[in-house]
Structure 1
């Protein structure tokens, strides 16, 4: 037996820096960041504000009021400008703060040796002279030289070359490694020679960390809509200004004010703010439940997922591997607590030697821990063996081999992996082979992961990496147990109710996969293996997808094929992965989900989401919260479309009927102080519907700007506009002054905004939040202030309230309540008429038709 840990340390890199040295170098050289964070930039926000049409119109209106001698109105609008600026800063601060928190969670880490101990630290804390451990799947955190081991690097970010290159310690030509490159094979140690902007990638300005802030497809569509409405608002404003002057006989400045009022009423300037704030805060809320959103577009996509393809180990199971049974070369179980004979020592030593040193893999850790305990060793100060090369699991090669040397001549080749593959490498008689296979199947049927172990010894020239001509001796089986997470069956039940199919893709034995799948609540009548998958045509595979939920002995390239097949079948696929080879499948899935606790940097870089705790239930919670975010965006868009319609009506109708203006820019500016927080604060905090996870996923092409959603909002707003216009006309007809009628109409608009916000909940079962109640208090305060503060009434051109004012207001709001109730009833009936068949039948079965075919 060689050593339990089999990587020989470089004589100068076993201890690393001291904590004091690291702190001093961090203070002296600064953090290891490629590009300094810009943070919250006030000048940027101000520059963007000056491009906003609403702000420009407020400034123009204030200038016109000043020109006609209305100093109070001009001052009020100037104050409104400051309030708009303040609200925008607050919203930007919330969004920027949320994104900063997400970036902090997403920040890469590095494994360094400090004072002789391995530590995981933020990559930004790596300093010059640090000794960094590099393993398969890691992103190199800084420039340096390789001082131990051999690794394969993907340097495409620097060189554009997609073929991985090899770097070996001690090779003067090929020992340099660079920041932002990816370790795709092997392991080693590097000593840091350059950090931050002084690295090669830092000098060429590469590797940005702005994926979170890049606009989603919906945000781009919203920007186009706002630009379209800005053009429409300008055209209507010019038409109304001309009509007020030519048709209604207003003075040019008053006509300009009427045009500005209409443009302010038409512009849906809240839309970009809604999306920016909702998705940033929604992503932060999802992160608080263990799911990091690396790209904001994933928040949109989460609500469309109709199939989850998940790994078994660590996602459905607890990822707490323990050796549960050991079998000798004849297939006879050994006593885990009994005395060891020479065969036991050889088996445990070879199994440990086949594990990577400092491995993060739970299987390797469990084997090394058990071998250390049973053999009575602690990790030696000078490891007994040096690793010359290792061949990891790859396509068609379900086992790991590591060649170790001791001294100058002796070598050992230790191999562990799938029993059928290891048995094929060894000379075992047929009876023993059958007995071992039966024993492996029995362990697998109990949900255990089974590994076979083999070894070869030699002296002199060690074998090459392909192991050609080496005869290996079979040593036995090691079975490891990894219990199912307790919450998984309930989480899969929630997915079934939500119209989301769950399938398991694993490299384990079919019997192991079937056992865990049955415990989780998946269908296990049919299990498809990777070998069977290779023999299938695409049409045959499409037929088998219908009734298979468990896929065993699946290789990474086969995962990619399955993801593509599921997508061709019409599913929106969310897939979990952790390894370097999972990256293509993660990119191909509609939503790629990387493991945060055990996943590689390559997998995380390829994914849209990262499970910080690797728990399947966290992913299900993330989907629920993602659906909530989209629902709230949809509610808010309906509110925006509804609340602007009555304002537009009351801006246009007076021009047509040659009335004096009902709404003035100062009044609309005050209304915006109600509408803006309702959109970006009240609706963002709206809780989910009780049935949010009891309906099929929405279609991928569904949009909150869809005609049905916006149409309902317009219907609500059109009713409010007609009611308030008729109430205004009736109030004038019954003898109210223009100023008194205008007060009743303005108060009616305030009440309508509040009622539309309450109607936006969508269901009485959705509780009124403190923010919604706060909006009610704000509306009441503004209404009382405009009615009973003489100086404010003067600015807004209102008369003191009368009994007629209150009666008109009460009648308007009661009629509006009836109208909104009627629209809600009609909406429910239309929904039932369009989709009379419930999705309950779909939920009742673990498999259902793809949701691209299912109405939302």
Structure 2
């Protein structure tokens, strides 16, 4: 079968730095756009899904062996044993054999293997052994480190795993045979219990309870729904949510995604509530069937990985030019083409940063573990670099700048007089709503005064509910008292509630809502806002008890009865955290759906300077270019919709900023996906946690500031290795070219180069544990491959100067100037080359004076000292003849010390010149 439908997604996968989740979504979307009906999944599966949509709810449950009160624990265990976990195959970890092969399979190891084969064919057993050891050590180091890293990452991700609400029966005996199935009513206590379980534990037949903010955890058949709107953008690309029902109205529909009573894994609930039964899990879902056809298993390169890959390929291309050049020079000047070929291949290996994947992985893993100790869980290791590169943080107000502990401060009528009747109406609304309960509802229900003085919930029966959505910004419940009348109670944002009010209650009378009263109401509520209180309006409407189903259209001709006002005090840690973020080059912008007066009051209290204010309505009047320019100089954005938040994040990114977004609600999910780094909290709704790259176990900007610093530290250590390796390798090539052109013998044997390269690479393993200078953490750090090329040109040739000085020392002072004395020459350069490479680690790791002003961490110091000792021991000890080396006269070492000190002095001087001209990253 041809996979042309995957080409656009694969291009994005390779070049745009999308996440693996976005890659799969693009692949599916492109497939759906180009495929005929039924080809997206096996036809048998498509027909089964359609058949389930046409059955009654009872028939669906019978076919799945389920019950209206859900499965028992034993039934769920049996189903799980039969169908396996609810996971898609691409998300499962590789087997150890596949992982080991992946660790081996890179251009660097292939070159080493080729060189080992050539050495074996030429009966050079020592070279074969050394090269083979390089391959084995490099592969095993990466395998072990990645295994540990992946295990640590998995354990961290398990701490924030998403869950679903399911019904569980205690036993079969609790289900009466004549029980009428009513999915639109909550389960009776003796019938079933609601429980939260991990999404991967779900099985076919589980009854799932859905509300706004939930992910669709598997393929579901809807049994009952109330104003259920589902976003299928991840599957179809449709920007608008679609409504789902308990029945399929048009039986002629055949496309699975068009079926009205089916929801598919990968979608999420925008508003409303529903009860549904799982019909398929894991690879048997619609999403899983498509994912199985995408054979690519590699993770998508992030911006940093793309930069690392770019550097690797620059070095490989450099190698492909220089290795043949070395071959030709040595072949023509020495006459031994086989030896010249082996030497050229050794040079090629020396130029390849074969430890780079392992260094990057171990550094990221260490960063993730350190962050976990600071209450920051990294879902995707590569996100750490974006954390350090972030220069703008967009955050909501509630729970971030404030304590996330909202208290009900005041309840008044429309004219500001304390009124218990308003509190009663708000209580009934919050008590009976089954959708997404926010902090305002919790504050109402937990109000101490209300719990002591009111006992009205038992007098009312819930009739229906009109769930909240972010377009209306209000929600309503309909209750009945002794079935005498129906009372619609609406609660929501002031302007949105006023839009559907025609009257206002004043004492015992009801007055028409005139323009004068509207102005008076807005003055009263503005005063509450200026006190830092968030105002929620409450309105009612009496209806005859003739219906049992109500909709948005019934939110009309309401009577405004008053307000409930909430206080969310600022956190004590917010002000110092904002100062710390500012000091580290991160600008904080507040993006909130709340009132601008409340937001400005909070910003003033926490000491956040407000350079400008824009409302959601203001942003709608601007095109992207104007909005981007305005966003640069604006601090507070208030009364925003989810789409407006997403757009602001996107235009800031288009201006070249690395943007982080901190949010925890369903309205934050689009912005979380649009940001360079999405940040959420463990208490967030499922769709927000799924969209985020970083999860905070504590919703605090202080925690976030610690994460930013650790991200920069991690990035800085990775950059050290890349700079060291690139500049050192670049200098070695010049040294080899000079030596090859003028010496009557090879400056080093292939085996010497390989051993030197192996020892140097081992010394770099400790880099992830190194310290980072404080000044390197004060500003965002971005990947800049072009800067690396300049760095190579400035610092690489310095080592060549002292390599050439070593040539002169061995050639003229110690008279190693003929083939008969080449072993002495090679031993001298072997030690100098290895020690200078090891020393450059400490020179380049800091802008300061090494060992004095900035000292490396003890693991890096210990590793460097160990490798230097081994490098000296090999020629000077009893193993010298095995490596075709020989002991050097003791008079060599004072010369060596002088060369190394001069090398340090010149490198330090170049650092000062380079930093003054180009800066020091």
TM-score (norm 2): 0.78
Structure 1 residues 611 and 777: CA distance shift in structure 2, 3 A? same
1:642 aligns with 2:731: no
Q: Match for residue 861 of structure 2?
A: 773
**CA contact under 8 A between 2:525 and 2:535: conserved in structure 1?**
yes
Tell me the secondary structure at the aligned position of residue 434 of structure 2.
coil
Of the candidates 781, 785, 788, which is equivalent to residue 873 of structure 2? 785
**CA contact under 8 A between 2:212 and 2:269: conserved in structure 1?**
yes
Q: Match for residue 590 of structure 2?
A: 504
1:312, distance to aligned residue in structure 2 (A): 0.5
**CA contact under 8 A between 1:331 and 1:432: conserved in structure 2?**
no
1:34 aligns with 2:34: no
Q: Match for residue 666 of structure 1?
A: 751
**CA contact under 8 A between 1:390 and 1:403: conserved in structure 2?**
no
**Distance across 2 between alignment mates of 1:376 and 1:170:** 40
Of the candidates 894, 897, 900, which is equivalent to residue 810 of structure 1? 897
Structure 1 residues 504 and 469: CA distance shift in structure 2, 3 A? closer
1:478, distance to aligned residue in structure 2 (A): 1.2
Of the candidates 91, 94, 110, which is equivalent to residue 164 of structure 2? 110
Tell me the secondary structure at the aligned position of residue 89 of structure 2.
coil
Structure 1 residues 210 and 593: CA distance shift in structure 2, 3 A? farther
Q: Match for residue 203 of structure 2?
A: 127
**Distance across 2 between alignment mates of 1:734 and 1:785:** 20
Structure 1 residues 176 and 403: CA distance shift in structure 2, 3 A? farther
Structure 1 residues 688 and 209: CA distance shift in structure 2, 3 A? farther
1:260, distance to aligned residue in structure 2 (A): 2.2
**Distance across 2 between alignment mates of 1:693 and 1:598:** 30
Structure 1 residues 485 and 628: CA distance shift in structure 2, 3 A? same
Structure 1 residues 710 and 231: CA distance shift in structure 2, 3 A? closer
**Distance across 2 between alignment mates of 1:544 and 1:83:** 54
**Distance across 2 between alignment mates of 1:426 and 1:767:** 73
**CA contact under 8 A between 2:614 and 2:638: conserved in structure 1?**
yes
Q: Match for residue 364 of structure 1?
A: 441
TM-score (norm 1): 0.84
**CA contact under 8 A between 2:663 and 2:681: conserved in structure 1?**
no
Q: Match for residue 842 of structure 1?
A: none
Between 467-476 and 165-174, the greater mean CA deviation after superposition: 165-174
1:756 aligns with 2:840: yes
1:549 aligns with 2:635: yes
**CA contact under 8 A between 1:311 and 1:506: conserved in structure 2?**
yes
1:788, distance to aligned residue in structure 2 (A): 4.3
Structure 1 residues 358 and 692: CA distance shift in structure 2, 3 A? farther
Tell me the secondary structure at the aligned position of residue 387 of structure 1.
strand
**Distance across 2 between alignment mates of 1:22 and 1:804:** 79
**CA contact under 8 A between 2:529 and 2:535: conserved in structure 1?**
yes
1:463, distance to aligned residue in structure 2 (A): 8.1
Which residues in structure 2 correspond to 1:302-317 (within 5 Å)? 302-317=387-402
Structure 1 residues 829 and 526: CA distance shift in structure 2, 3 A? closer
**Distance across 1 between alignment mates of 2:224 and 2:378:** 35
Unaligned runs of 5+ in 1: 1-9, 335-339, 833-854
Structure 1 residues 47 and 531: CA distance shift in structure 2, 3 A? closer
Between 134-143 and 526-535, the greater mean CA deviation after superposition: 526-535
Q: Match for residue 136 of structure 1?
A: 212
**Distance across 1 between alignment mates of 2:261 and 2:607:** 50
Of the candidates 787, 810, 814, which is equivalent to residue 732 of structure 1? 814
1:489 aligns with 2:564: no
**CA contact under 8 A between 1:743 and 1:805: conserved in structure 2?**
no
Tell me the secondary structure at the aligned position of residue 461 of structure 2.
coil
**Distance across 2 between alignment mates of 1:155 and 1:758:** 53
Q: Match for residue 830 of structure 1?
A: 917
1:55 aligns with 2:109: yes
**CA contact under 8 A between 1:732 and 1:738: conserved in structure 2?**
no
**Distance across 1 between alignment mates of 2:822 and 2:726:** 28
Unaligned runs of 5+ in 2: 1-57, 171-191, 252-259, 505-510
Tell me the secondary structure at the aligned position of residue 578 of structure 2.
helix
Between 727-736 and 146-155, the greater mean CA deviation after superposition: 727-736
Q: Deviations over 1:391-428 (max 9, x none)?
A: 4231xx34323445689884332211223443451423
1:516, distance to aligned residue in structure 2 (A): 1.0
Between 802-811 and 580-589, the greater mean CA deviation after superposition: 580-589
- Which structure has more relative contact order (CA 8 Å, sep 6+)? It is 1
Between 535-544 and 631-640, the greater mean CA deviation after superposition: 535-544
Structure 1 residues 271 and 433: CA distance shift in structure 2, 3 A? same
Structure 1 residues 569 and 810: CA distance shift in structure 2, 3 A? closer
Which residues in structure 2 correspond to 1:413-424 (within 5 Å)? 413-424=488-499
Between 530-539 and 480-489, the greater mean CA deviation after superposition: 530-539
Q: Match for residue 309 of structure 2?
A: 223
1:771, distance to aligned residue in structure 2 (A): 2.3
Tell me the secondary structure at the aligned position of residue 427 of structure 1.
strand
Tell me the secondary structure at the aligned position of residue 815 of structure 1.
helix
**Distance across 1 between alignment mates of 2:296 and 2:689:** 15
